[in-house]
Amino acid sequence: MTTVTKKADKIDRLAELMQTTEVTSGASLWREAMRRLRASKMAAIGAVVIAAFVVIALIGPWIAPYAPTAQTWRGDVFPNRGEFVGMRSGNWFGLDHLGRDVFSRWLVGARQTLLVGVVSMLIGLVVGALIGVCSGAAATLGGRAGQRVDTVIMRFTDIMLSLPSLLLAVSVAAVLGQSLTTVMIAVGVVQIPVFARLLRGSMLVQGGSDYVLAAKALGLRKRRIVLTQILPNSLSPVIVQATLSLATAIIEAAALSYLGLGNPDPAIPEWGVMLAQAQRFFDNEPMMAVYPAVGIIITALGFTLLGEAMREALDPKLRG
């Protein structure tokens, strides 16, 4: 490039600079968070793990080589004498104590596990967020009466939080009886105070910010301030928590199943139930416990990774 054209370029650029003040793209914070999320390795690994899990959960029953409940190889295992067959060509994960194909059960069980995780998380999220919004809105805009309402709600959630989560889940399960729905509700109830407190705390922080003050000064109605100003800015931690709590929900559901509060129907295998059943034979056939356990751990890890990556992506301090 000759010096003349280079110079002309510079002048053009200068002229352009003087015309427009800023030349960025008009990207919202959500979009920028997505961009950061896409660039994150942690998010990618988490997403791959979760995707694999979801795919297995969706198509598992179709690709399972055998029916999960068929006791086809009843004669091959002698659980009383501690004789199992282990891995073999027809049964990749071996057989369980009733002579069922563990691999098939594992594939089919993924769906139940996902269902329990998602549904219980949603129960916690929806109910918790509703309580949180009410409490947060009352505290930030409700004046003195609102603060009293907020105090009452928060003391209530404090009580829920102070109970050991498993104990709470067991009590719920004891009241509702033994079923998969019980597990979902029990695990969901445990999450309610977490979401409620989180959203309310986040709203309180945002409620004290200058732009909320500005919205009041503008003369916006209270409902509008909550919906368009406070709430959108308070959601980030809740979204992160939702992802993270999927992991804990799966683990807790497994724990409840392990304690025998899960689905009693043997036709529907679930990783937690499988783990519980494998316990008796752990000395002779540890692999029977390892497969569902590894499934739970890896899935939980996937959700945790994605959650952490989202936390980083949504953190306004990293805005750049």
CA triple 279-283-286, angle to 5 deg:
65
Of 147 and 181, which CB lies nearer to other proteins in the complex structure?
Answer: 147
The CA distance from 251 to 288, in Å, is 18
Question: Of these, 133, 215, 250, 313, which contacts other proteins (CB under 8 A)?
Answer: 215
Inter-residue contact 196 to 128 (CB < 8 Å): yes
Nearest alpha-carbon partner for 18 in 28, 10, 6: 10
| Residue window 51-80: x/- pattern of binding to other proteins, with contact defined by CB under 8 A | ------------------------------
Helices (H), the chain: 3-19, 29-39, 41-63, 102-141, 143-162, 165-176, 180-207, 210-218, 222-224, 231-258, 271-278, 287-314
Question: Of these, 221, 279, 282, 318, which contacts other proteins (CB under 8 A)?
Answer: 221
Smallest gap, in angstroms, from Cβ of residue 218 to other proteins?
Answer: 4
Q: Does 17 interact with other proteins (rule: CB under 8 A)?
A: yes
Q: Does 24 interact with other proteins (rule: CB under 8 A)?
A: yes
| Span near other proteins by CB under 8 A; candidates 86-94, 123-131, 188-196, 207-215 | 207-215
Smallest gap, in angstroms, from Cβ of residue 223 to other proteins?
Answer: 11
Rounded alpha-carbon distances, angstroms, from residue 64 to 105, 108, 263, 272: 8, 7, 20, 19
Question: Of these, 214, 294, 297, 298, which contacts other proteins (CB under 8 A)?
Answer: 214
The CA distance from 110 to 269, in Å, is 8
The CA distance from 102 to 93, in Å, is 5
Residue that the structure tokens 């709203």 belong to: 203
Question: Of these, 167, 216, 264, 265, which contacts other proteins (CB under 8 A)?
Answer: 216
Q: Does 22 interact with other proteins (rule: CB under 8 A)?
A: yes
Nearest alpha-carbon partner for 287 in 66, 95, 78, 73: 95
| Span near other proteins by CB under 8 A; candidates 18-26, 258-266, 273-281, 289-297 | 18-26
* DSSP state at residue 293: H
Nearest alpha-carbon partner for 158 in 199, 186, 208, 192: 192
The CA distance from 287 to 285, in Å, is 5
Site for other proteins in 85-124 (CB under 8 A): none
| Span near other proteins by CB under 8 A; candidates 25-33, 59-67, 130-138, 268-276 | 25-33
Contacts of 225 (CB under 8 A, 6+ apart): 141, 212, 215, 216
Q: Does 175 interact with other proteins (rule: CB under 8 A)?
A: no
Q: Does 38 interact with other proteins (rule: CB under 8 A)?
A: no
Of 181 and 228, which CB lies nearer to other proteins in the complex structure?
Answer: 228
Q: Does 21 interact with other proteins (rule: CB under 8 A)?
A: yes
| Span near other proteins by CB under 8 A; candidates 76-84, 103-111, 132-140, 223-231 | 223-231
The residue count for binding other proteins (CB under 8 A) is 35
Question: Of these, 38, 58, 87, 211, which contacts other proteins (CB under 8 A)?
Answer: 211
Interface with other proteins by CB under 8 A: which residues?
7, 10-11, 14, 17-18, 20-22, 24-30, 209-211, 213-221, 224, 228-229, 232-233, 316, 319
